[in-house]
Amino acid sequence: MKRRVTYVQRPETPFEPQQAILSSSALSVHGLDAAREDRITFGLEDLPEELRVVLEQSHELRLRWATERSYDAIAPFTSRVSPGLHVHYTPLAADQSSEGLCSLLRSVFGTENGQAAVDCTRPEDSFITPPLLSTRFAASASLQYYTHLPSLQSLVGFIRRTACHQHQVGGTECHERADSLLTADTVDVDYDSISHTLSISGVWTSPPDGGWTEVIPKPASKADQVEFGLLGAEQGIEPEEIKMGGLLAVVGEDKKMKPTMFSFPSRHHPLPSDATYTVSFTQPTGLHPIMSITMQRPSLQRPPAPEDATCALHTYLTLPSSVFGDQYQLGTTDPLFLQSHNLAALRAHAGEMDLEAPDWAVQRWGSTWLFELASPVAQMDDADGASNWTATIPLHLRYLPPSETGHKTAHVPWPVVFWACTAEDGTKMGVNPFDRTNLGWDGLFGPRTMFYQLHPKTGRLVEEIDVPVLKLQAGQGLFQAQNIELGTSLVILLGFLWVLWRLVRVALFRSGQGQRHGHEKKE
């Protein structure tokens, strides 16, 4: 087992040497104001049997989870996904069915409000195939899944009763580390069949009250390793680079922390804190909600990419099956429609596209949409510069199953909004220690694309749409389930009798005409 703990401070954050002290048996930090990443890497032999069996049948399995809370992402942890759980999966064999994966996901993530958090039977039935328009990521997953998952409580319970129980890690230490995932902003799980390792990483973009205070002991086994880093990040010499410097140590091996300085090309870069956006739905939503993405003017300024780079503003939507877009409407090239919604083009889409199917007839989890957004011209007067810019996307609601209250809630996660800029031809986007791929939208761009993420500005990054449905509860009122069912049956019966009567009348009429013609011939 290998563990890597990294603290990243902002350049303006003060630091005192006594806040990080290394001894022969542990490293302790006190009152540290920094973002934190904790990554643990396991070999297959260290994993529970039920998990190992599924991984051995997988070429690639990557989970990306993000909290519903708004958080400030700093370099190098600037990449974002929509709130909820994203699963990217490639089976070991193309024609292989892996029901075990869905069974494992249901076991790991439990239930939400009495229903399975992961509504999955088989990947080939429940997952969608993403439209990979770029060959940049050779190991891009072939199947994709999403579900609204506000809490990792079930995952934490799974870790406590399997990994912690199996390894018997020093009393409560393993349980405390597992419980800490409940406050993480993002959690990633990555398995690659080439390396035969599984890594779990959590990122906390802000410290708890009073700063980070903890003791990191040296590993009990010589086969394990704990790496520690206290770093600061800033813009590199080249626009595509991030420069980092600080202190590194291997707990239990190094006698003192070693200074370091390095830089690397990065796909993901930060924007100023005032480059924000908000998402809302036009009220009343009805059955045809319109998503509005409102961006502050600083969000519309060209990012600090190389001068010869071509930049465009994009948004990537992750829509559950209850909400969908019309690919023919949104994929139009009609300039009047696009201008009225401040859209440039629909660049990619995948998933459930049936315009007529009710939600209970839809097998797959939903759909994804990548739009290029129109942005105002660079030359704007002061009056225009003070206002915001809004892009709108018309969507539709599917018919949902009936409920006792006559209403159901559709949860729509906020999309991610970002600038995508092509880098110079000579730029090499090699893998860096903090690289994050398989986000769902990064594989839709070329090999040298740099991304600049806008910051969502709100307390919660999920919109709730109240959907009227058939009411099951018996009570007063004409439009109850029983009355509608009885009325529908009666209308069908009356229609059938009317059609039958019309056929009988036609048959009798033709029979009478035939007899009359026969009489006339005899005479």
pLDDT over 60 (residue 477) = no
pLDDT band at 369 (very low <50, low <70, confident <90, very high): very high
Is the Cα dihedral 163, 165, 171, 175 positive or negative? positive
Domain contains 150: no
Q: Read off the pLDDT of residues 372-412 as tens digits, 9 standing for 90 and up.
A: 999 886 434 444 555 789 999 999 999 988 888 888 889 99
Residue 207 has pLDDT above 80, yes or no: yes
CA dihedral 100, 106, 108, 109 (to 10 degrees): 150
Q: Are residues 260 and 289 in the same domain?
A: no
Of 57-61, 93-97, 328-332, 465-469, the range with the lowest mean pLDDT is: 93-97
Q: Assess whether 293 and 402 both reside in one domain.
A: yes
Is 156 part of any domain? no
**Residue pointed to by tokens 């201008």:** 339
Asked if 357 and 245 sit in the same domain, the reply is no
Domain shared by 339 and 317, yes or no: yes
* Per-residue pLDDT reduced to its tens digit, 34-84: 999 999 998 888 888 888 888 988 888 999 999 999 998 888 999 999 999
Q: Single out the residue in 265, 297, 331 at which a domain terminates.
A: 265
Q: Are 276 and 454 in contact (CB under 8 A)?
A: yes
Checking if the pLDDT of 133 tops 70, the result is no
Note whether 258 and 281 are same-domain residues.
no
Are 215 and 302 contained in the same domain? no
Alpha-carbon span 198 to 62, nearest angstrom: 10
Q: Between 523 and 407, whose confidence is greater?
A: 407
Asked if residue 292 and residue 218 are part of one domain, the reply reads no
Q: Tens digits of per-residue pLDDT, 257-288?
A: 999 998 888 889 889 989 999 999 988 888 89
Same domain, 438 and 322: yes
Give the global pTM: 0.86
Asked if pLDDT for residue 204 goes beyond 80, the answer is yes
Q: How far apart are CA 244 and CA 7, in angstroms?
A: 12
Q: Do residues 294 and 428 both lie within one domain?
A: yes
pLDDT band at 138 (very low <50, low <70, confident <90, very high): very low
What pLDDT was estimated at residue 515? 62
Instruction: Express each pLDDT in 487-522 by its tens digit.
Output: 778 888 899 899 998 888 888 877 766 666 655 555
Amino acid identity of residue 304, one-letter, is: P
pLDDT tens digits along 156-165: 988 888 877 6
Instruction: Note whether 368 and 443 are within 8 A (CB).
Output: no
233 DSSP assignment: E
Asked whether residue 85 is assigned to any structural domain, the reply reads no
Q: Looking at residue 383, what is its pLDDT?
A: 41
* Cβ atoms of 178 and 162 closer than 8 Å: no
Is the confidence at residue 468, as pLDDT, over 90? no
Establish if 146 belongs to a structural domain. Answer: no
Same domain, 284 and 261: no
Residue 114 placed within a domain: no
SS (H, E, C) 57-97: CEEEEEEEEECCECCCCCCCCCCCCCCEEEEEEEECCCCCC
28 and 1 in a common domain: yes
In a domain, 117, yes or no: no
Cβ neighbours for 175, distance < 8 A, ≥ 6 positions apart: 160, 164
Query: Which structural domain range is residue 213 located in?
Result: 1-34+207-265
Question: What's the pLDDT band for 135 if we cut at 50, 70, 90?
Answer: very low
Least confident of 451-455, 470-474, 503-507: 470-474
Q: Is residue 360 part of a domain?
A: yes
CA atoms within 13 A on the CB side of 495: 6
How many folded domains does the chain comprise? 3
Pair 337, 405 in one domain: yes
Inform me whether the pLDDT recorded for 367 exceeds 80: yes
**Assigned domain for 163 exists:** no
